[in-house]
Chains A and B, each alone.
Chain A
Amino acid sequence: MSFVLFMFFVLAGLAVFGAVALILQSHPIHSALSLILVMLSLAGLYLLMGAEFVAAVQIIVYGGAVMVLFVFVIMLLNAGEEERTNFSKLASFAGVPLALALAGVIAVAIARGSGHLASATSGELTSTKELSKLLFSEFVYPFELTSFLILVAIIGAIVLAQRERS
C-alpha cells in the first residue's frame, strides 16, 4: 500500500470518526470539537489531492473563523446537555432509514458515474496562480457578488443580534 493511500485511509477514518462523534456527543461543545476534527482531516485530504490553497482556506476560515463563532455562541448561550423528548424517538426511528436511503442513492449514482472519470486523482499541486487567474477572469462577477453577500451578512448579523431598545 502506497504512502498516499495509507494517509487517505487515516484521514478518512478520522473524518468519519469525527462525524460519528458529532452525532453521539450530547453536549454541543463536544460536537463542535468533533466537527473541528472533521474539518482538519478534510484539509489534510485536500493537501493529499494537491489543492493546497483550498486546504489553507479550509483551516483558516472553517477551522478558525466559523468554528470560533460556533464555540463563542455556545459559551454565550451557556448551552448544556440536550434534552430528549417523545418526538426525538420518532425522529431517530424515521431518520436512520432516511439517511440510509440517501446514502444508497448517492452510492448508486457514484457506481454508475465513476466509469467516466479518470481512475485516479492526479495529486499534482494546483498552482495558486492558476486558481487566482480563473477567479479574477472567468469568475470575476460571482467574486464581486460574494463581497456584496458578505456585506449583507454583516448588516444582518448586527441587526439580528443587537438588543431592542424600547
Chain B
Amino acid sequence: MVPTSYYLVLSAILFGLGVLAFVFKRNIITIFMSIELMLNAVNLAFVAFSQALHKSDGEVFVLFVIVVAAAEAAVGLGIIILTARNRRSLNVERVDLLKL
C-alpha cells in the first residue's frame, strides 16, 4: 500500500512546478496550461484525502473542479484568441496597456 503522504508530496511537487511554469513561461497559452497543471495537482490531493478518510466527498469535489476547469479553459482560450488577434503576439509582455 502507498502511504497517503507520498501522494501529498507528489501533489506539492506538481503544484510547485506549476507555479514555476507560471512565472517562467512567456507564452500566454503555456501559462494557461500551467494553471491546468496546478488544478490537477490539487485534484490529486483531494482524491488522496478522500481515500485516506474513506469518504467519497473528495471525489465529488474533484468532479466539480474538473467541470470548472473545463469551463475556464473554454472562456480563457476565447480571451487568448481575442488578445492574440488584437496584439498580433502571444507574448504576455506585449499586453502592457496598463503599464506606465
Contacts and interface: CB of A to CB of B under 8 A. Distances in A.
Interface of A: 2, 4-5, 8, 12, 15-16, 19-20, 22-23, 28, 31-32, 35, 38-39, 42, 45-46, 48-51, 53-54, 57-58, 61-62, 65-66, 69-70, 73-74, 76-77, 79, 82-85, 87-88, 91-92, 94-96, 98-100, 102-103, 106-107, 110, 114, 117-123, 126, 130-131, 134-135, 138-139, 142, 146, 149-150, 152-154, 156-157, 159-161
A53 B59 CA distance: 9
Given A62-B69, A69-B77, A103-B16, 18 more contacts: A23-B24, A28-B29, A31-B27, A31-B33, A61-B70, A62-B36, A66-B69, A69-B74, A70-B73, A79-B27, A85-B93, A88-B93, A95-B23, A120-B52, A121-B51, A134-B56, A153-B70, A160-B79
B56 to A, nearest CB: 5
Given A66-B69, A134-B60, A160-B75, A42 B44 contact: yes
B93 A79 contact: no
From B7, B29, B50, B81, residue with most partner A Cβ within 10 Å: B29
Nearest to A84: B26
B16 to A, nearest CB: 4
Interface of B: 1-10, 12-21, 23-27, 29-30, 32-34, 36-37, 40, 43-44, 47-54, 56-57, 59-60, 62-64, 66-75, 77-82, 84, 90-91, 93
Contacts of B36: 35, 62, 66
Nearest to B5: A114
A126 B57 CA distance: 11
Given A16-B17, A19-B17, A38-B37, A160 B4 contact: no
A64 B41 CA distance: 18
A131 B60 contact: yes
A68 B73 CA distance: 11
Nearest to A111: B5
5 contacts: A2-B1, A49-B47, A51-B62, A122-B1, A153-B72
From B2, B7, B43, B64, residue with most partner A Cβ within 10 Å: B2
